[in-house]
């Protein structure tokens, strides 16, 4: 069985979030664990939380998104 489903589109405002709501709702009846991840956000989350993430969190009663991830350190010198 597939362990990951990615929803993508060539254009913004194409209904991806609506599709995700339906998929997550369906998958919750069939799978043990379902996660939601939005890798690209085009605004500063410190200013205002992403509306699509808030919609999914509220609809499925998920905990609020964690603060912005801590940046990884740069490459280490070899040797």
Query: What distance in Å separates the CA atoms of residue 61 and residue 56, rounded to the nearest whole number?
Result: 8
Which comes out higher in pLDDT, residue 35 or 7? 7
Work out the pLDDT band at 79, boundaries 50, 70, 90: low
Query: What distance in Å separates the CA atoms of residue 65 and residue 50, rounded to the nearest whole number?
Result: 10
Closest CA to 52 of 9, 18, 4: 18
Work out the pLDDT band at 13, boundaries 50, 70, 90: confident
């Amino acid at each position: 069985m597939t362990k990951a489903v990615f929803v993508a589109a060539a254009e913004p405002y194409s209904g991806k979030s609506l599709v995700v709501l339906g998929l997550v709702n369906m998958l919750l009846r069939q799978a043990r664990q379902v996660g939601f991840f939005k890798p690209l956000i085009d605004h500063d989350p410190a200013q205002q939380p992403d509306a699509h993430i808030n919609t999914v969190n509220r609809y499925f009663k998920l905990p609020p998104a964690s603060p912005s991830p801590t940046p990884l350190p740069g490459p280490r010198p070899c040797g």
